[in-house]
Structure formats: C-alpha cells, structure tokens
A and B are shown apart, each in its own frame.
Chain A
Amino acid sequence: MNETAPAPSPLSRRGLIAGAGAALLPAAPLTAPGARAQAAAPRRGGVLRIAAADQSSTDTFDPVLARSGSDYLRAKAAYNALTWVNGRNEAVPDLAESFESDDAATRWVFRLRRGVRFHDGSPVRTADVVYSIMRHKTGPSLGSAIVANVASVAADGPDGVVFTLAAPDVSFPLAMSELHMSIVKEGTTDYARPVGTGPFRIETFQPGVRTVGVRNPEYFVPERPYVDGFEIIPLPDMQSRVNALLAGDVHLAVNLRGAGIDQVRQSSAAKLLTTPTSGFSSVHMRVDMRPSDNLDLRLALAHLMDRRRFVDVVLRGQAVLGNDVPILSTSPLYNTDLPQRALDHDRARFHLGRAGIGSAPVEVYVTDAANGGIDIGQLLQREAARAGLNVSLRRVPADGYWVNVSGMHPFSNNQVTPRPSDDMNIALFWKSNGAFNKCRFTAPDFDALADEARGTRDEGRRRELYFRMQKLIHDATPQVIPAMQSYVDGVSNRVMGIEPVPVGYLGGFNGPQNAWLGA
C-alpha cells in the first residue's frame, strides 16, 4: 500500500512498518499448515457455536473493563483496534491502514482506513480514536498500564491520529492491537448494546448466559466473516466443553486441559488447535520478604522443579520448557547462553546448605486460579522432600486470589497471560515500577536496559539488550517458571480457517472472523 496522505514532516520512511500485503487483509491467516484447509475454498454460512471457559455475570463489551478470555472474544467480534497481530506476532494494520513513527519512536502517526462505518452507520472519525484511547487515561481501566507511556493523543488532519510517547517504544503498534484498545464511538457510555466496526453486529448479549452476533455485511475486510453469525455459550466446566464438542453441540471449545486434551486427540470428530505462547504459571517469590529474599533458597527451589514432568504429564506436552525467564525459547530474543535448568537434587542441596534455613517449613500458596498452579506446588513439594527441604502447601480458593493472596506472601502461584509484545511484558511485569511486578524484582541497570530495548529498532542491539535482561532475571530467579504454556482449544473437524496467533486462544481471539464451516 502506498502512502497517499501527506506525511507530516518529522516522520521518516524508515519508520513505516505497514506491509503492503498485510494492509489489504489485516487478519488473514498465514499459510495453512495442513493442505486440507487450503484445498477447499472457504464456504459461506452457518452459525459458529463456541463453548467459552469462563462464565460471569460481569461479562462485558466495555473494552476498558474486558477481563476474561470471553470478554476478549466478544471485543474482537464487535470491535477493531488500530492494529492487529499476525501469526508471527507482528503488528498489521486494522482500523488504521498504516502507521509510522519518527526516528526516536516517540511520535507515532496512525492513518485511519477510509470509509469504515460503525454498525449504526456513522463513519469512524479520529475523534472516536482519541476518545477510545483517552478512556484509559481518564477513568478506571484495565488497560491503563498499556497506555501509561502515552503522553498525548491528538487528531492530525481528517484521518491521522498522533500519539506522543513519554519514552521511545518501537513496538507501540503492537500495544495498540491489545483488545482493551478497541475503538468505540466517541461519547459511548453504555456498552450493553455495543456499536463497533467489527465483523459481527451483536444481537443478543446476556452476561453469563449467552452472546449472539450476526455477520456485518459492510465489514471492511473483504469476504470476512464467512459465517452468518456466532454464539458464545459459557461452559466453565472443562469436561462439559469437551462433551459438547464431541457430541457436536458446539464447534469450538476453548482452553482444554489434562484428560480433555487426550479425549479430543483421540476423537474422530474434533482436533486440537495448539497455540504456543509466552504465558506461564509460576511460583513467584518476593525478593523483599523473608525467607524468599534468600537467593540460595530461590535457586534451590528452581532446581527442585521437575519441569519435564510438569510439561509431559500435567500439560500433556502442550508447552515449551521454561527456564525462569519470560521469553519463549523459540523466540529470536531468547538468551541461548543460559543453561536450561532441570531437576537437580545435588545442586539444590548445595544451595540449601548455603541458604541455611534448616528444617523450617517453606510455605507456598497454591491455587486453581493459575493453570497447573497446584501441580507445580505438589511437584515442588515432592522433590523438596528428597533434598531435605520441607515445603508446605497452602491451598487457597480461586475466588479473589489475584486481589487478596497473589504477591502478598513470600511464595505464591502466579499466572501471566501472554501480551502481544515482549517489550510490554518486560515493562508490566519486570521493570521496578511495573504494575504487575509483584516479586519486587530489581536489578542494577535493568530498567535502563528495558527502556533502551523499547526504543531500539536494530535487531542485533535489541537481542543483546534482551540477552542481558534475561541474564539478570535468571541470576536473581524471582520466579520459578517451569513451562511456557500453549493455549489448547478443541476444534470440530467441520471448522476450517483458524490459525494460531500467539496473543490468545482461537486464533488470537479472532476465530469467529476467520472460521468457516465445512460440510
């Protein structure tokens, strides 16, 4: 796509990220791995039925308050953000047809796609974008940490929006793909009947009961969506989701675990959709509290974690081994110099000797709220006993866990859901002022390295900076991260067109837009 609008002066062509092909088809799947999906031309029609894993009377269409996976699915069906993410985790245009920054990556300009209308027929204007983003700055929002770096947002001509950042950020377009950043109409305060630009118009929305959408015939992505509509049915019980999938009552069942994965794998009616991500469950350890401030104790626990067994048995192999750093080992930014940690009683004993905590029990808070959290605790307890360490597990309910328990004790379960960019992950979870840095991790120069990486375009330099950050995290080990967990969904054999996108399940929460139903 050629830049048609006159570019404001401080922008450079080098900053142009929008790719020509990607601009035409914002959320087009990459090449399909199986020949089958490509062999047949997509078919139109049918209603896609999705069994969601969470059910709450707080289900919402308000992007500012989106909290659960099904909120994200809903947001992606009804709205668009300025950008979207492809299967290689790159930002691609969505409501913005292009975006570019100045050399310093502190001034980003997004050009809106022309002629896009909201579901009620009104055109999308720059004021809508400014309003949608500013909601995170002015009111309580679950996305406020993502726009913390945004100093100002302003319209620039009829189709441009300028973001001025407090500190440079080369992956800012990825931040704008986040579903909290969905674009709503200026002035909207009631989200019970959402008006967006997305692939579906919302027909019925009953929180905790059902959500029904019908195809938006004016959707700006050609051909999409293929299905006439979708329905989300909450089925928080995993076995019920699998049963509904195998009985043919739903086409998609999200978030499968344990035996459910085995059942779908063995079934002739459905298959697994596995999306490797940088999300994980862990034991996080407060570095400012006794006894978890003891580095040797933390290292002993890291060597008492049977990561292999956790991946193979608990996660049914749907994960990548973790090495206590937040970067996926298949990512180009992963520090390959770090030795892979494994179960090692001798090293654990060595560190325990140096820690000098004797037979005093180490209390770990575990919960179902983190996927595999209790299993992590039990595996740790078992191996710790063999090395002479007394780990006692405090099993606490999922209810209110993230507000009342997580990070309040020396050792507790943590869970991190994948964010679109590693820069965002580092800023939110690892920088000393990060909103989710519950371990209180700090290391000399770490913040400076993070800030520099965020403003560095050069891949070689970025890699170097990321290597150094991972070394600091690995040395300090504020979290034992046994595995980077994949999203695992069950997909009926009738459903085609959904490809993994690492920001969420069902193709980055975008399954309804891309799916089509075979015979």
Chain B
Amino acid sequence: MRDLGRLLLTRLLGALAVLLTVSVLIFAGGEMLPGDVAQIMLGEGASEAEVAQLRRQLDLDRPATERYLDWLGGMARGDWGVSYTTKRPIGEILPVRARNTALLTALTVAVAVPVALGLGVLMALLAGTAFDRAASVVLLGLSAMPEFLLATAGVLVFAVRLQWLPAISNVSLAGTLAEAARALALPVLTLSLIIVAQIARMTRATLVGLADRPFIEMAHLKGASRLRVVLVHALANAIGPLANIVTLNVAFLVSGVVVVETIFAVPGLAQLMINAVSNRDMPVVEACAMIFCATYVLLLLLADLFGATFNPRLRRSTP
C-alpha cells in the first residue's frame, strides 16, 4: 500500500504541473488569436473608440501577464472568474453544461462498457471463427464511421420516419425518468456504437495477444477450460491495458463529443469551449481546458492505480 500511496502523491503533483502548463499554453494561444473579445462583441461596424471603451470595461487593457496571474490567483481560491461576454460568474455557467456532459457520459459508459467488454471476451474466446470475423468487420466499419453520419442516420430512421424517439434531446423538458431515457436514447446509442467498437476490438486484441504467453500455456496444460483460461488467467492480466482504453474513451466522452452535442441539442462542455474560443472569451476557455485536462489526468491516474492493483509488478516498477 505504501507503494500505491507514493504513486498517488507523485502523480498528483505531476497533474498539477500539467494543469499549470496547459493553462499557460491556452492563455498564450488566446492572446495569439486574431481579434479580441471586444472587437468580436461589437462587430465590424464598431468604431475604434467604442472597442477601446469596451476593452477598458472588460479590464483587457492591462498587460497579459497581469491578467493571467489574476486568473491564476482566482483559480487558487476556487474562483473560476467571470465570463467576458455574458458577465456572469463562470461557476454559474458551468453546472448546466457539466450536467449535460455528465449525463451523456454516464449513460454511454453504463451501456457501452459492459457490452464492449462482453463482446471483446466473446470474440477472443471464439477467435478465428466466423462469428469473430464477422464481428471484426462490423466493429471496424463502425469505428471508421464518423459520428455525424451515425447520428443523422439514427435520427432519420427513428425520429423522422418511425417517430419512436425525439430528434432532439432537450432533457429539461422531459418530466419523468422514462421520458428522459427516451430523449437521450439516440445520442447515447450513437456514442455507444463508437465506444463499443473501439473497446471491444482492443479487448479482443489484448486477450488474443496473451494467448501464447507461457502462463496461459501453463493454464491450458493444467487442464483449465478455455472459458476459465480467458476469464480468470488472461483477463486478470489484461485489466491494466483495458482500464487505460476505457478511461481514454471516457475522457473522450467528456471533452470530444461536440458533434453529438450539436446534433441533438444537448449543449455540454465541449460546445461551451468552442463557443468561448470563437468569442475569445478566455476565462471560459481556460475553465473548460482545466476541466478537460483534469479529467484526462485523473482518469489516467485511476487507470494506472487500477492496473497496479491487479498487477503487483507495476507497483514496483513505477517511480
């Protein structure tokens, strides 16, 4: 356990360093973008004097380093800052977006991860059979398909033609749990197809890759059944890599699902960040970047801890 504690401490310190570096990079990137928030808010017809006036009101006429340090000081006190454009505290803007993102992520993970792992194990068990080959072709096809295509096809079939499900997922309108589930069915289905394809293929590949290792051979020689070999001997050793694959996919769901958010009108964090970038609303951009960055860092840490728990060798080799 001491090993795990040290691992946790060093990784958390590393995470802080990563967050700090990312925040500097994002801030510098924002400074380099053409046009600032005052110009964009007032549009092309604004006079220089008006733009300068708005810049003063927004406190943008101070040097960049000073503004960055102010922001950093705020973050250290747990203050997200205030959006330039809406003048609302970012702490007020985030919850509704974070809720949408969390809901979509949680439901997709709940649906996709068990299905994907089960499918991957099944394919590994039946490796080389017709089922394995057919499933591989389908999964490969799915993972190559862009999500807007899957989403639009789903909407055309289930919402426009059959009218079973709504075309947009405005959850706030749905009163009961059943209604909310119905509203979110299409986006969750779309995202699940993508995630399942990736995780199932990696699960199969990892398990099959272990098949000719000596300890698996040993298990076979002991007379263990094929099912037992895969589920007990191989899977335990595959958990580290699998945890990594799953967490990377979860992190993608948190930060990278802007297409699905847009098509189904479930405005989440990814869309908020894109909006903020095009409006040069840097405090909001920084807030989203910090959330995404922290999500990646923490999930990867979680995956490593998980892997280390199941594989004592990793604990020692980790600095």
Contacts and interface: CB of A to CB of B under 8 A. Distances in A.
B40 interface: yes
A244 interface: yes
B50 A140 contact: yes
A340 interface: no
A187 interface: no
A237 B265 CA distance: 9
A89 interface: no
A206 interface: yes
A129 interface: no
Contacts of B191: none
A404 B168 CA distance: 34
Contact of A403 (B39, B47, B170, B276): B39
Given A207-B86, A240-B264, A247 B159 contact: yes
B35 A239 contact: no
Interface residues on B, range: 35 or more
Nearest to B51: A140
A144 B263 contact: no
Interface in A376-413: 399-400, 402-404, 406-407
Contacts of A56: 275, 278-279
B198 interface: no
Interface residues of A, number: 47
A140 B54 contact: yes
A130 interface: no
B92 to A, nearest CB: 9
A60 B173 CA distance: 22
Given A141-B50, A249-B168, A404-B35, A58 B44 contact: no
A60 B46 CA distance: 18
Interface in B160-206: 160, 163, 166-168, 170, 172-173
Interface in A10-26: none
Contact of A243 (B50, B167, B172, B279): B167
A192 B267 contact: no
A266 to B, nearest CB: 12
B267 A55 contact: yes
B47 A435 contact: yes
B104 to A, nearest CB: 14
Contacts of A243: 152, 155-156, 159-160, 167
Contacts of B145: none
B83 A57 contact: yes
Contacts of B155: 240, 243, 247
Contacts of A60: 86
Interface string A429-465: 0000001101000000000000000000000000000
Question: Does more than half of chain B's interface fall in helix, strand or loop, or is it mixed?
Answer: helix
Interface string A101-140: 0000000000000000000000000000000000000011
Contacts of B45: 142, 145, 428, 435-436
Contacts of A406: 44
A267 to B, nearest CB: 9
Given A236-B262, A249-B168, A400-B34, A67 B41 contact: yes
B96 A140 contact: no
B43 A58 contact: no
B284 A237 contact: no
Given A55-B267, A438-B44, A206 B166 contact: no
A250 interface: yes
A417 to B, nearest CB: 11
B294 to A, nearest CB: 20
A58 B160 contact: no
Given A55-B275, A144-B47, 5 more contacts: A57-B85, A57-B93, A59-B86, A243-B156, A406-B44
Interface of B: 33-35, 38-47, 50-51, 53-54, 57, 83, 85-86, 88, 93, 96-97, 152, 155-156, 159-160, 163, 166-168, 170, 172-173, 262-265, 267, 271-272, 275-279, 281, 284
30 contacts: A55-B267, A56-B279, A57-B275, A58-B281, A59-B86, A65-B41, A67-B43, A139-B57, A140-B41, A140-B57, A192-B86, A207-B93, A209-B267, A210-B170, A233-B170, A233-B265, A236-B262, A240-B167, A240-B265, A243-B155, A244-B168, A246-B160, A247-B160, A249-B159, A249-B166, A249-B168, A403-B34, A407-B44, A436-B44, A436-B45
